[in-house]
Amino acid sequence: MYHTWMRFFTPSPLHHRLGLVCLGVGLQHGALPTVGPRTLDHHVAVIVNSGTGWFAGPDGRRTPVTGPTLIWLTPGTPHHYGADPGTGWDESFVDFTGPATTTYTELGCIEPDRPLVPLSDTAAPRAAVGRIVRA
């Protein structure tokens, strides 16, 4: 069993001119359905707050995921992932796009070659997602 809350947006062209727009936000926990395999045309930051599961990138090899971990999903990159069906995980996610993502990537804030980033704490990312949820 799992619980999910999601909200998706269609930003106007005026919003896109800002350089970075939110396309969606969600909070989920439990034995979530497997995602993919798929390829997106935008970025997603998936924050696994707790729990375990797996992630597979373009090579198809499954890598274990243990929260807290950030999963970067980048445009044009095939991926597939899922929570452990027995125990599940707790996740937050934000879908986003815009030309500013190129600059954030060049600055090293978004790491396409490092899709799994272990975290020591998820308080700050959870707070940021919480602000988006309430917006």
Domain with 56 in it: what CATH number? 2.60.120.10
* pLDDT average per 10 residues of sequence, the chain (135 residues): 95 97 98 98 98 98 98 98 97 98 97 97 93 90
The tens digit of pLDDT for each residue in 78-95 reads 999 999 999 999 999 999
- State how many domains the chain has: 1
State the residue range of the domain holding 121.
2-134
Give the pLDDT of residue 112.
96
Supply the pLDDT for residue 57.
98
Task: Tell me the whole-structure pTM to 2 decimals.
Answer: 0.95
Helix%, strand%, coil% for the chain, nearest 5: 15, 45, 35
C-alpha 31/C-alpha 51 separation (Å) is: 10
pLDDT of residue 92: 97
